[in-house]
A and B are shown apart, each in its own frame.
Chain A
Amino acid sequence: SLNCVEWSLLPPATEEMVAQAKQLKGRFQGDPSFEYKCTEINAEDAERLFGDGKEPMIKEESRLVATIEQIDRAVGIIPRGAFVKTPLGSVHENRNFEGLSLTEAKKLSSYFHFAEPVNLKNKTLLEKADLDPSTDFLDSLEHDIPQGSWAVQLEKGGTVVVLRSLLWLGLTFYHVPMTKQYGYVYFGTGEKNFDLPFML
């Protein structure tokens, strides 16, 4: 939506869209039908993707969709215990989740990426023994590369804990300890911060 009154449904993201959008740099224009010319594809890729050799153009709409997908996958986080996995494998919301305690909320290890876990299998057997398979089935934020890519702060006198991602500048996650309230929002330019390793 451009004015919060009229909303249009975005198509779901495909791998192809994401791959194409990764090559685009610069700000978004604000017009969903704006077309970018991708100048960096080799001739081979262009032929593979487009067959006829017509000029590759990407619409801003697909770029938007791909960016949302990337952000969700990379930095969409939830507190530990908010979602549980049943023995059958399905994941659903934990209705008994009462929030993290204040000490737990300050630790990065109590937050998980809300995406397919990548690092779980790499943990040592000792660590795996400590995990509770119903709640610890996702990647924790502790082992994010580069280390230190999350800024944890307590706001409002310590009643709200705010995590800000430094990889996607503008992603903010909030949680009120000992309550069920949590969530994340993104306000920003939609560009990944590739300079992160230099900035830490």
Chain B
Amino acid sequence: HDPYQPHEPGYGLYQPGYSPYDDQIPDPKSRMLAIQNAKAYLLKSSTTSGLNLYDHLANMLTKILDERPTNAVDIIENISKDVKWAQFQKKMDTLRDEHEILPTFEAAEKRKALFLKANGEGNEELEEEIGETPLPNVMETAFYFEQAGIGLSKDESYHIFLALKKLVSVQPIQTCRFWGKILGMEMNYIIAEVQYHEGEEEEETEEEEVTEEKEKGMGEGEDEDEKKEKEDEPPKSTYKPPPVIPKEENGTGANKYVYFVCNEPGKPWVKLPPVTPAQIVCARKIKKFFTGRLDAPVVSFPPFPGNEANYLRAQIARISAGTQISPIGFYQFAEDEGEEEEEEGGGRDTYEENPDFQPLSVAEMVDSLATWVHHGQSILNQGRCVWLNPFQKSEEEEEEEEEEEEEEEKAEEPDEVQQEIGPPLLTPLSEDEGIQNIPAWTAQPSTNLIPQYALAVLQSNRWPGAYAFASGKKFDNIYFGWGHKYSPENHAPALPPPVQAEYPSGPEIAETRDPTLEEELAFKAASEEALAAAEEEEDEEDAEDDEEEDDD
């Protein structure tokens, strides 16, 4: 019984053709015996795992012949391992594994809704769609940005496209634009910039006005109390919070557009609340990552008035104000505007597309920043786009205005609030300040090799992640990033304000040292002398009186 005959499986160690037993060809009978012995050896079960080599090899070869992988000899070890691993799976089991729903599958289900067309709408739908839709052509924009190396994958762009389509069909929207994507810690935000049809805005402002009036009423009551300060009561706080600057109306200024966000295409769109100046002012002082949940609190100092939805909206407002740009001439001021408004700081609020727009060549767009203009209004320090004097009362109280203003000036001594003027709309980018020695924008053509079809691409250096492109008559802005401004210096959070003095210190409240014994004695002696002197005077007076009486 010779081991390892060349024609048997499991040849193993010896190279074919080099076995020392090659030249021996045993007679058929002993050959049969040899085969049986070899097979018996192969069938011998392993002591550790209960398998035997014969079955294992048979399974492996069956698997290979069934599947026919390419280069089977190279992956033979892996196949062997897989077959052994397959032993642990019970094929016929009375207990069935619960059908495991992969999270991938669940996610796909959600997105599937996007791909289905809305039911119950017939041919009329088609006609409407062919006309002008507010839906932006996201794929086209993505194509242009891709040439500059910016953008999301095609899959995601298409999903966003469909999600926007759904948004447009649900809300009464006039214009819609894919604003960009802000990254967060747990989830990201996809943001759409939207303008409603005129007159169809949802009226959420009523509730807010009611609360504002209540606050005003309380404020007046407090003023009266303070004038009646009594010394017995602990002194009232003289802290007056700075006047609340009213937010801008929906549709103007910082609230010109309404923003919808969702975490992923396929999830429902959530409308972000309009932004107030206080939120913008506070957002300028803090720097926080977004978590991805809109209701997360924003823990910071100075305390941010609102939750993550408000912080997100404030950052979007700042980014839009700083980075929404267009080629010069695309937008022009409407010609029907009359005189500039005097009180509110001048400046025109609206612009419209210029029908006579002549696009400049790409080289010109890239060379000089003066060929681009901001079409987003910049936000003043106050937090609004249009400056408002916070000490003006509303129109209803104009009659009492003069009296109250005088009183206030005497009692409160308000700081002189100077009118803030920001750069007017449609200023060219060359006016933008750089940071240290870096210009605010970096411009480059998308390709140097094919200038005929190149785009002009601008990256913002102040808001890293904001990009804009222009090619002929097409242009767009987009933002992909974390949502923070760039500053070469480290962020230093504001220090808490100095502790207020508890009470005004004056001589009557000031502590003095208790008089020492000598001082007391001296004081006593002095007062006794004074008393004695007074008594003597009285005696003299009495004596004089007596004398006078005697005289009379």
Spell out A's residues near B (CB within 8 Å): 3, 25-27, 102, 148, 151, 153-154, 156-159, 164, 166, 169, 189, 194-195, 198-200
Contacts and interface: CB of A to CB of B under 8 A. Distances in A.
Nearest to B108: A157
A200 B286 CA distance: 11
B104 A159 contact: yes
B436 interface: yes
A192 to B, nearest CB: 10
18 contacts: A25-B488, A26-B436, A26-B438, A102-B103, A151-B185, A153-B186, A153-B187, A156-B155, A158-B107, A166-B289, A189-B464, A189-B486, A194-B491, A195-B490, A198-B491, A199-B288, A200-B288, A200-B289
Nearest to B489: A25
Interface of B: 102-104, 106-108, 111, 155, 183-188, 286-289, 436, 438, 448, 461, 464, 482, 484, 486, 488-491, 493
Contacts of B490: 194-195
B147 to A, nearest CB: 14
A158 B103 contact: yes
B482 A169 contact: yes
A151 B186 contact: yes
A100 to B, nearest CB: 15
B103 A154 contact: yes
Nearest to A191: B488
Contact of B183 (A102, A151, A198): A151
B245 to A, nearest CB: 26
A179 B118 CA distance: 38
Nearest to A27: B438
Contact of B185 (A102, A148, A154, A189): A148
Given A157-B104, A157-B108, A158-B104, 15 more contacts: A148-B185, A154-B103, A156-B155, A158-B103, A166-B185, A194-B491, A195-B287, A195-B490, A198-B286, A198-B287, A198-B288, A198-B491, A198-B493, A199-B491, A200-B289
A148 B184 CA distance: 12
B287 A199 contact: yes
A107 to B, nearest CB: 14
B288 A27 contact: no
A82 B287 CA distance: 36
Given A27-B461, A151-B185, A194-B490, A199 B108 contact: no
Contacts of B184: 151
Contacts of B102: 102, 158
A27 B487 CA distance: 10
Closest 5 CB pairs of A and B: A157-B107, A195-B491, A158-B103, A158-B104, A151-B185
Contacts of A3: 448
A194 B491 CA distance: 8
Contacts of A27: 438, 461, 488
B304 to A, nearest CB: 13
